[in-house]
Amino acid sequence: MRHRVAGRRLSRTKEHRLAMRRNLVASLIQHETISTTIEKAKEVKPFAEKLITLARKGTLSARRRAIALLGNRDIVENEDGREVKKGTVVGKLFSELGPRYLERPGGYTRIIRLSLRRLGDNGQLVLLQLVGSEEKPEKETKTTRKKRFGRKAKKPAESEHAVETQEVAEAEEKAEAQEPAATEESKDVKSPNGKTDENQ
């Protein structure tokens, strides 16, 4: 009898189960969506939600607790054939995901069933996603970043490009003002017959 025995065994030993859970959640934090089987997703979902709740607190003790539960795997991306470190999983958890879900009291992940089956054992595949990952905030412009850090940003009229365009516009206005005067002078030019020639 399995009275009060919680969790799925997933045909693994305890150590293997814990390592798999950590790896799946680290991949979920890094990529914000992963594909796995329905059983694994249901087992991993509560663990991911607990870690995001810790990230919402944002304290030093919460960060240490998250590192103890999850580990602190590096986020590495491949650029031009070289592996470049882009940060850590716990760093992203506390700097991006925690602030994103400050107003949300729970339900940070969702499971979406796919029509696909895994080759080999015909297992039911699902997507495990972070809610709101499709609504990424727009990147800040340079002026807003400067304002945020206390530096004075240049006004649009004070920038070099704006000054140049303003000077060009003034020169064009002067040229347009001089053109009608030149046409009036050309009208007054007399032809050799003594008559004014308006067609010139």
Task: Tell the residue number behind the tokens 């303003």, with chain if given.
Answer: 166
**Assigned domain for 22 exists:** yes
Q: Are 132 and 100 in contact (CB under 8 A)?
A: yes
pLDDT tens digit at each of 200 positions of the chain? 989 998 999 999 999 999 999 999 999 999 999 999 999 999 999 999 999 999 999 999 999 999 999 999 999 999 999 999 999 999 999 999 999 999 999 999 999 999 989 999 999 999 999 998 776 555 544 544 445 555 555 554 455 555 566 676 777 777 777 765 555 555 555 555 655 555 54
**Assigned domain for 3 exists:** no
Of 150, 112, 108, residue with least CA distance to 128: 112
**Assigned domain for 23 exists:** yes
Q: How far apart are CA 17 and CA 34, in angstroms?
A: 18
> Do residues 129 and 148 both lie within one domain?
no
Give the residue numbers spanning the domain of 99: 14-133
Look at residues 94, 109, 133 and tell me which one is the last residue of a structural domain: 133
Amino acid at 165: T
> Do residues 193 and 125 both lie within one domain?
no
**Assigned domain for 7 exists:** no
> Do residues 105 and 191 both lie within one domain?
no
**Assigned domain for 162 exists:** yes
**Assigned domain for 5 exists:** no
> Do residues 111 and 149 both lie within one domain?
no
> Do residues 22 and 105 both lie within one domain?
yes
Q: Are 129 and 113 in contact (CB under 8 A)?
A: no
> Do residues 21 and 115 both lie within one domain?
yes
Q: How far apart are CA 169 and CA 187, in angstroms?
A: 28
> Do residues 127 and 149 both lie within one domain?
no
Look at residues 133, 161, 191 and tell me which one is the last residue of a structural domain: 133
**Assigned domain for 198 exists:** yes
Task: Report if pTM > 0.75.
Answer: no
Indicate the number of domains in the chain.
2
